[in-house]
Amino acid sequence: MTQRSKSTVTTPVLRKHVIDALEDLKAKDIREIDVRGKTSIADLLVIASGTSARHVKSIADEVTRGAKKAGVMPLGVEGEVEGEWVLVDLGDVIVHVMLPRIREFYGLERLWTVGDRGHEADAAQAG
């Protein structure tokens, strides 16, 4: 766990609540990136897409509710007004819910997986 987290909930338990919330609201293209050893801000980044600004906001709200049920209060939620990219900071787990065009433009997956063997293999398979 990162030093920021005061919760007794472990990262795997919190991860399960986040993934369940994303799946419950039909988030698209859910991707998890283990960032331990790359940054001290979190252990896990979860990135998902919504089909519209309303869908993005609803997904982020459900992630927040799921975290609270697990006993984790979000440290912050940003981007709810616009709904194009909502970030939910849960301490050890940071969730990004984005519109597909925003997700493609910023390329967080590429940013956080540069040099990872698994990502390079995925890219090679993609063509």
What is the secondary structure of 73-120 as a DSSP string?
A: --SEEE-TTT-SEEEEE-SSEEEEEE-HHHHHHH-HHHHHHTT-HHHH
Higher pLDDT among residues 51 and 39, named by residue: 51
Number of independent structural domains in the chain: 1
pLDDT for position 125? 42
In a domain, 5, yes or no: no
- Per the CB < 8 A criterion, the answer to whether 67 and 18 are in contact is yes
In a domain, 53, yes or no: yes
If you average pLDDT over residues 11-19, what whole number do you get?
92
What CATH number is attached to the domain comprising 18? 3.30.460.10
What kind and span of H or E run contains 31?
Answer: strand 28-34
In a domain, 78, yes or no: yes
pLDDT at 80 over 70: yes
What is the Cα–Cα distance from 49 to 47, expressed in whole angstroms? 7
Higher pLDDT among residues 40 and 55, named by residue: 55
> Taking the alpha carbons of 10, 20, 32, 5 in that order, is the dihedral positive or negative?
negative
Dump pLDDT digits (tens) for 86-109: 999 999 999 999 999 999 999 988
pLDDT for position 55? 97
- What's the domain range around 21? 11-126
If you average pLDDT over residues 101-120, what whole number do you get?
77
In a domain, 81, yes or no: yes
Percent pLDDT > 70 in the chain is: 83
In a domain, 2, yes or no: no
Q: What is the CA radius of gyration of the chain?
A: 14
In a domain, 112, yes or no: yes
Higher pLDDT among residues 40 and 97, named by residue: 97
pLDDT for position 111? 80
Percent pLDDT > 90 in the chain is: 67
